[in-house]
Chain A
Amino acid sequence: MSRLGGLGHKLYAGEVSYDFVGRRRTWYIISAVILLVAIGALVFRGLNFGIEFRGGADFSLPNATCSVEDARSTAEEATGAQVIVTETASGTVRVQTEELTPAQSSDVAGILADACGIPKDEVKAQVVGPTWGAEISGKALQGLVIFLLLVTIFLSIYFEWRMALGALVALAHDLVITVGIYALTGLEVTPATVIGLLTILGYSLYDTVVVFDKVKENTRGITGQSVMTFGEAANLAINQMLVRSINTSVVALLPVVAIIVVGAGLLGAGTLLDLAVVLAIGMAAGTYSSIFIATPFLVTLKERSPEIKALQARVLARRKQGRVPTGAPTAAGAAADSEEPDGSSAPVSIDPSAAGSAPRNQPRRRPRSRRK
């Protein structure tokens, strides 16, 4: 723990720096591969939708004494159709059938309860029309679109449009990965899953906003100096927020893990467990993307804008002239080393005005510490 604390200081001071921004191509490739797998799974395997989406009836028989086979034959006899029977670790037998009328459902519940030696009152039954799940998700999707629109406007005003775009890219990244894992593992998609995805959406954006706020702070007035490129300032921000990101992820994941443990141990399948599984995947992806995707992507976008290009040229020109004394931020220097092979900025011919501004003595100390 205290090592993490000490690391916190070193990260803050720039003594230790992980080069998140400079190596962004690596992260992009890693994410692209994961995304491809996720999308491939989605296309080729599809999602396993729960009865809430397909329509049908679902009976849960806790502490059932009957075997899966007994339950299956009983239910098939009662409904005259194919049924799906599963048994969870906690001894709950779950029977899923085609859609039934309320009266039929009550009847089947009674028959199953008899067959499995439990009182009918213990049976948890659910009958869902085929349009209902589609409606829940349709509504959720509608909400999602409106929310994304509003949040884009908010982020564009509070930060700038590039940050809004970066946040959305990170969000899409998290959601696709989570949905992809559902496709890969064949976990059942229930309305709880939809809720979980929506939470991830909130969490992913929340996390990105916290990191971006630091980036914004570090890069305020960055075009007025020529010591640090935008990418370096952004990278420093990620590093300074790293301890917070780790702590927050641990703290956010602990309760979710608690749900998974308690849920799997006590309940078997259920809303809580469904939710916790989505959240665990999504929160992990969210933390990863706020560090490895959102900010690097922002830098990619930013480096296309003229002022930032000019800044980069200025900083590099200045470094070439060997004007960077040893006391200057080495985090910046270190990042620049990996920046140059990118080739995006190294051969830039020096803009006269930028070159002219370079020798002007900039404050050695980073202005951030002087600002409020």
Chain B
Amino acid sequence: MAPQPTSKPVRLLVALGVLIVGLAVWAFWPGTDSSVRLGLDLQGGTQVILKPTPVTEGAEITDEQLEQTVSIIRQRVDGLGVAEAEVTTQGSGDGAVIVVSVPGVNQDRVVDLVQRTALLDFRPVWGIYAPTPATAAEETAAPDASASPEASTEDGAEDAASEEAPADEPTPSPEATASAAAEGEAAPLVQADDNTPEFQEQVAALDCTDPLNYRGGRPDDPEKWLGTCDTTGTAKYNLQPAFIKGTNVTNANAVLPQNGVGWVVSLEFDGEGASALADASTELSALPECGTGASPCNAFAIVLDGVVTSAPRFNEPILGGSAQIEGNFTAQEARDLANVLKYGALPVTLEPVDITTVSPTVGNDQLRAGIIAGLLGLLLVAIYLIVYYRALGIVAVLSLAIAAAVLYLTFIVLSKAIGLTLTLAGVAGAIVAIGITADSFIVYFERIRDEIREGRTLRQACDSGWIRARRTLLAADFVSLLAAVVLYFLSVGSVRGFAFVLGLTTLIDVLIAFWFTHPLVVIMGRWSWMQRGSKLTGLDSGRLGGASLTGAVSKRSRRGSSTKEVSA
């Protein structure tokens, strides 16, 4: 009948103390960053949410492709020298998005950079021409434009170098970009099913000195002919349909050959790529050099996002499925070309679906308002609880304070451990959680009162009330936790941050109720001061309808003798 007394309240309190100290040590370990990482809406910055879509319709995006895309974007962003940029994925499969967060504003470059698609293919060169639009049909008259043929036939190094970091391109000023955009989007890529006269005319008319035409970012259809520019706008190419797609590249590395003079890029292909390479190299290496006016000529173009990154020639047929691109590469240039080859092959296009820029002032304001609202909320709750529950109210306020401390420490620890960032939605989640956390104590305290009304002593009530309240708490918190977990795994964007905080606070609520509130109430229940039932305990007989805390006088059987009905 009598509920089991809570065996070791002190032990539980000590356990919680150890836990908090542990968290605090982890959080404030010297030499590490002990601050809560703030989301961009709180510290200011630019956030771009990108939605990847497969280039081939109906294809699925694998987690691996997603990871590779993230690593490319991260490389690009890091290449800009932006500190603390963050690139993450949310969700998976069709619903996946990539979130790029960069502190500081006016990161137009970042936005421009990260949404660039990386679609790579290898195309045999039909002809190489001067970059300016040719009015006559004699497009082959261009070879005297010396710069481009040299680059492409001998080494391709310069072209490759130009790709190494798109950031190195002169970033157009906002005005320039805007005006360009105002004039209209870049024309669609010049592509055709066949090398028809119309297509050749279009290629001839292409102006490769116009940045819109050499900036890239327009994925090409590998099955069609392509007329395009190199990445610096110094040469124009007429390219045959791709013979190898970027997906056929299995590996690419920058290597320094032992007897060589400069860096080279070694390439390995899968079976399909190897046989295509063997065929193409046999055929192409027999052709005359490009720049002599011959069409087709001996060169293949490495096309990334619709522009030519590099156009080396074949010295000999390559039969083994592995190749080397030689040139006067610097180490950096070779590495960059290798990275383009290795990672540039993602069959994914990225569409920016949400771009948010928050100024640091606004961010700070939001954070400050969040903190003020939280503190004000806590204060109001504390006043209410203390006025209503007196001594028990103090326990409740202490519990809330400890819960807040544990939440704060957990945020720091999670910031370190898994890179958790606190967003405004998270702050809101935490403020809302004050109510749900306080409810745990309210349910428990009301239970204690009920138990006393039924004639138990305070000491008994603290335990038997807990046993009943505990079940209610666990059931109700389970529902909250379920909501948080389901939302966290199925949602994107700010909903996710909110769900995380909601789940975290629910767990902390349970922890505090079990390890702090209950043991403390049990200990207080043993104090004779509490048992005397002073007004300050919140358990005085006036509130409990005359029930006594020591069980000496019980009036519970008088129930119903003076009932009045009150209509609601």
Contact = CB atoms under 8 A, between A and B. Distances in A.
Contact of A210 (B439, B545, B556): B439
B174 A106 contact: yes
Interface in A283-299: 283
B396 to A, nearest CB: 9
A129 interface: yes
Given A330-B560, A372-B3, A209 B476 contact: yes
Interface string B431-474: 11011101100110010011001110000000010011001100
Contacts, number: 348
B543 A369 contact: no
A313 interface: no
A106 B356 CA distance: 11
Interface in B398-452: 424-425, 427-429, 431-432, 434-436, 438-439, 442-443, 446, 449-450
Nearest to B567: A19
Contact of A106 (B178, B388, B484): B178
Given A139-B491, A199-B502, A209-B472, A262 B373 contact: yes
B60 interface: no
B239 interface: no
Interface in A67-112: 101-107, 109-110
Contact of B434 (A4, A151, A251, A261): A251
Given A106-B108, A251-B385, A252-B436, A259 B563 contact: no
A327 interface: yes
Interface in B351-368: 351-362, 365-366, 368
Contacts of B478: 154
A326 B499 CA distance: 53
B361 A62 contact: yes
B534 to A, nearest CB: 13
Interface residues of A, number: 109
Interface string A144-167: 001100110010001000000000
B454 A122 contact: no
Interface stretch (A34-42, A266-274, A315-323, A339-347): A266-274
A308 interface: no
B564 A202 contact: no
A354 to B, nearest CB: 24
Contacts of A267: 365-366, 369
A101 to B, nearest CB: 5
B562 interface: yes
A351 interface: no
Contact of B95 (A9, A104, A139, A272): A139
- If over half of A's interface residues share one DSSP class (helix, strand or loop), that class is named, otherwise mixed; here it is helix
B1 A140 contact: no
Contacts of B388: 1, 4-5, 247
Interface in B152-173: 172
A261 to B, nearest CB: 8
B565 interface: yes
A302 to B, nearest CB: 19
Contacts of B561: 326-327
A50 interface: no
A120 interface: yes
Contacts of B115: 102
A226 interface: no
A163 to B, nearest CB: 11
A184 interface: no
A201 B476 CA distance: 12
Contacts of A105: 355
Contacts of B106: 106, 120-121
Contacts of A122: 359, 361-362
A46 interface: no
Contact of B355 (A127, A158, A195, A243): A127
A135 B94 CA distance: 11
B495 A198 contact: yes
Interface stretch (B14-22, B374-382, B513-521): B374-382
Nearest to A155: B479
A272 B424 contact: yes
A372 B296 CA distance: 92
Contact of B362 (A14, A60, A202): A60
B177 A195 contact: no
A329 B432 CA distance: 39
8 contacts: A103-B178, A191-B494, A203-B435, A206-B439, A210-B439, A254-B377, A258-B431, A267-B366
Given A247-B388, A255-B378, 4 more contacts: A2-B543, A201-B483, A202-B484, A251-B435
Q: Which 7 A-B pairs have the closest CB atoms?
A: A252-B435, A255-B377, A107-B178, A9-B545, A18-B568, A5-B543, A103-B177
